[in-house]
Structure 1
């Protein structure tokens, strides 16, 4: 009997999607000089520059003022992340939001990308609104507005209420559509007079993969041989697609509500945010070119295709077959065009090569391996297993390689294949070990070349409207806990007051934003 194939089961792709580089070797095309002059004023007048975080990662106050557990509280309390930490206190923005907003203002941010904690606002997943949670988000949003900072709000950043997981398996049930829409309704009603940019979900194309196929995210559902942990429940061959399908329908339902009831009077916009790495063929062979197209379809087209065209990519329909849910005519119609903008979270480039392997032998549905990243064949490195993935002691300065041309190719691909939608780069940044300190010169270099690369994409016709650094300050980094940091501001997690300190990258970004914007001068780097 032919065994069903799985979407993403081989470990190397997952590891390469999330891992930090252990080498830093570039091809000539990766090396971009940083001596040229660029100004914020080179960007369109309404282009938005900001920085971001998410509720679970930064708020803390996990059991205060009526908040109940999310699936990430349950997961971290079982000591599943690399340093066995949790975000019960985190960066403590719940208590320090006024100080943080002042730092954002001093930095010159146009906007702050944040998320709302569903289990803080509606602790039981549906029904009664928590007045203290409502008060907190009103206060935070008002503080941002008072300082001239636009709140860009994500409704779900991986952290739906644990109670819904217990009741009906969360994203695996179509019941999530009604509950998510009701939760979104509360957010639109209570905050939409001030929030003009909404994103329904953050990175559903990795959330579903890690949670319902590989088993490395909550709710830890997977089946042998696809998972990289010992899952006690799940079906990797189907559930990854079912959960993604329900997210798409939840998104479409919330957008439909917003457009019919709120958008006309509130004058905001709504979209969704996807993880968007660029995939480059390892060689010019036809097999590698075809394999690269397959992985792009399974990585980005999985969500973008239904949003733009109303159905899944042909590659997915062919390879997944009957295991891939289908959209009814009315669902397809509601999905098509259900966004005002698309958020893309981009960090790096991966190289793809074809694997001469049958789809019938439990290989991935798109039958390829991601063989390399870090600038090309001379720097090939494939991590072998989860233990190696999580072992940062072996790394030597794990900054991401500079490949801004990958972001340009990503934007050009979306422009050509998906009708040139409005785009926000909602996450872009470079991780460093916590021992690196505040002199994060590599992060400064990374931000410089990526921000500069946006100008090329704009001049080529991409409909870019904003850019957000990940992250505003150090925070809990999901699987990695506190062992890596992305922040422009350092947070002293050993200090009970969680003191914040600007890094060199914060100083550079402040200079870029304030000197250029206020003094109308160019800044050379």
Structure 2
């Protein structure tokens, strides 16, 4: 009987894949939102102009300085926002997801508002609305004001909760009459282990043997920072719901980076390791948000190094979202390494007890970096549906990274976007409460991991040109046609997709 049910399940999934192969925008629900994303430091430029002060993103970018162009200039959207919004309108975007630079709006992280920063965001929001584009605003996209780090180490100190809440209060008050969708934090799960464990993200903290940083403690700081990020988020949501939501009728949520984790082989150990990985990377934030506490396996493996929620804190965080934003790019294969749990000292990665690899990285062409495995997105959405009570979801980021080049014939990116949107449609048809999809990124931007050397943009940006000229790529033309209801087919490797379902059905 069990084998018959599994075969029936796979047959229906295959039929759904076939149905998703031919689709257009009208196959999505009428209110489904399609857009594109950027973030403040990556796109705005004018980093030292009109009262803005440095953030930890500025500090880190200047230390690493990947690529020759100046990250403080980036795409100069601060001065070119009208031109960019016109391009968005021509593309046909329903929405534009961007972030507010905390240190542009409140230069010292707390205290007086910068009138020029306030004016810029009012102008950008108004320009979007004039063109029929809905603003989706992220309140913190890595760029914590450097002043708060210098003062008290920001998310290692509970003082950050009050300062973050005061900052978002300004945003809700000043922009909330026109902004309906607020995301408190972008990828806090990646921010904490990148910034406080291995040190390859701002603020660049770690300890030996897990990284080479001048300060930090990789054993404890990721868990402390995550705890305070959750409490700051909960405080911001509480403020919005008590003070603003009834009048502004908006929604507030959190964003997470989500891979689909797949066992490298279907052994019992690797399947359990895959579940453990989901609990650590996703459950670290989703369990408290949904159930009020960390996953049991995290508490067991981390022990006294992970903070304990008080009853008040648990109640603050539990249920503190109207939606979840998901950034998805690829599948990661997991292999059990639970023998590492007997070793000390341990960091976040050692606490999981796994080893990760990209799926078959040797098969990737040189020009792009992510395997085109769209079924992984569907499996992630199924996971959220099954484990976290099917929350309202926006895909906030999805795209293909490639070497920055003047060549605009990015057929590989078209195929990636086509197939992932098709997989998303399949997930929606299977009951996922996903309401929107945003391409990362609208244009080539300064990337934290790649600098200017590799980019995701629908528009090519000539960073060596004084005018930072924008030029549409093939992917922009495809996405624009799709948004106007003209695309009807997608690229899906049916055999590979079916095999992926069979191989990964155990988890």
Scaled by the length of structure 1, what TM-score is found? 0.87
Deviating beyond 3 angstroms after TM superposition, the runs of 4 or more aligned structure 1 residues are: 32-36
Deviation per CA, 1:304-335: give whole Å up to 9, x if none.
11000010001100000000001110110111
CA distance, structure 2, for counterparts of residue 290 and residue 302 of structure 1: 17
Choose the corresponding residue for 1:490, options 454, 460, 463: 460
Q: Indicate the residue corresponding to 2:162 in structure 1.
A: 178
Structure 1 residue corresponding to 2:478, chosen from 508, 512, 516? 508
Separation of aligned partners in 1, 2:358 and 2:56: 33
On the 8 A contact 1:122/1:128 being kept in 2, the answer is yes
**Could you tell me which of 388, 391, 397 is aligned with 2:367?**
397
- Check conservation: 2:481, 2:487, Cα contact below 8 A: no
Alignment of 1:410-449 (within 5 A): 410-435=380-405, 437-449=407-419
Q: 1:57 aligns with which of 9, 25, 42?
A: 42
Match of 1:16 in 2: none
Corresponding residue number in structure 1 for 2:359: 373
Answer yes or no: is 1:122 the counterpart of 2:106. yes
Given candidates 284, 304, 319, the residue that maps to 2:301 is 319
Q: TM-score, normalised by structure 2?
A: 0.90
* Cα contact 2:177–2:248 (8 A) shared by 1: yes
Higher mean alpha-carbon deviation, 151-160 vs 290-299, is at 290-299
Aligned with 1:93 (options 77, 93, 107): 77
The alpha carbon displacement at 1:282 in A equals 1.0
Structure 2 match to 1:347: 329
Q: Would the alpha carbon gap of residues 35 and 94 (structure 1) be closer, same or farther in structure 2, given more than 3 Å must change? A: same
Give the one of 74, 77, 84 matched to 2:59.
74
CA distance in 2, matches of 1:33, 1:497: 45
Alpha-carbon distance, 1:160 to partner: 1.0
Q: 1:35, CA displacement in angstroms?
A: 10
Q: Say whether 1:41 aligns with 2:19.
A: no
- Aligned partners of 2:406 and 2:460 also within 8 Å: no
Partner residue in 1 for 2:502: none
- Higher relative CO (Cα under 8 Å, sequence separation at least 6) belongs to 1
The SS at the match of 1:129 is: coil
Which stretch of structure 1 is more off in the superposition, 401-410 or 248-257?
401-410
Partner residue in 2 for 1:13 = none
Match of 1:269 among 238, 244, 251: 251
Distance 1:244 1:380, change over 3 A: farther
Count of aligned positions: 471
Q: Would the aligned equivalents of 2:288 and 2:317 in 1 still touch at CA under 8 Å?
A: yes
Structure 2: distance between partners of 1:144 and 1:372: 37
Between the aligned partners of 2:455 and 2:357, the Cα distance in structure 1 is 26
Name the SS for the 1:198 alignment partner: strand
Please report how far the alpha carbon of residue 218 of structure 1 lies from its aligned counterpart in structure 2 after TM superposition: 1.9
Pairing 1:106–2:90 present:
yes
- More deviation in 396-405 or 355-364? 355-364
Contact 1:72/1:159 (8 A) holds in 2: yes
Aligned in 2, Cα 1:44/1:297: closer, same or farther, shift over 3 Å? same
1:461-500 equivalences in 2 (<5 Å): 461-500=431-470
Equivalent position of 2:213 in the other structure: 231
The verdict on how the C-alpha distance between 1:315 and 1:116 changes in structure 2, with shifts beyond 3 A counting, is: same
Whole-angstrom distance in 2 between the partners of 1:209 and 1:220: 10
Distance 1:503 1:397 in 2: 15
* Cα distance per residue 1:41-72 (max 9 Å; x no partner): 00000000000000000000011110011111
RMSD: 1.7
| Mapping 1:243-392, distance limit 5 Å | 243-355=225-337, 357-362=339-344, 364-374=350-360, 379=362
Give me the whole-angstrom Cα distance separating, in 2, the residues matched to 1:162 and 1:256: 26
| Structure 1: unaligned runs, 5 residues or longer | 1-28, 382-394
CA contact 1:429–1:447 (8 Å) conserved in 2? yes
- Three-state SS of the structure 1 residue aligned to 2:342 is coil
Indicate conservation of the 8 Å contact 1:205/1:274, yes or no: yes
Gaps of 5+ in 2: 1-13, 491-507
After superposition, residues 147-226 of structure 1 pair within 5 angstroms as 147-226=131-210
Q: 3-state DSSP class of the match of 1:351?
A: strand
How far off is 1:374 after superposition?
A: 3.1
Rounded Cα–Cα distance in structure 2 between residues aligned with 1:485 and 1:34: 32
Residue aligned with 1:330, SS: helix
Q: In 1, are the aligned partners of 2:20 and 2:422 still within 8 Å (CA)?
A: no
Question: Aligned pair in 2 of structure 1 residues 356, 207: CA closer, same or farther (>3 Å)?
Answer: closer
Asked if structure 1 preserves the Cα contact closer than 8 Å seen for 2:38 and 2:441, the reply is yes
Identify if the C-alpha distance between structure 1 residues 33 and 447 changes in structure 2 by more than 3 Å, giving closer, same or farther: farther
In the TM superposition, what is the alpha-carbon distance from 1:373 to its structure 2 partner? 1.6
User: CA 1:35 to 1:206, structure 2 compared with 1: closer, same or farther past 3 Å?
Assistant: closer
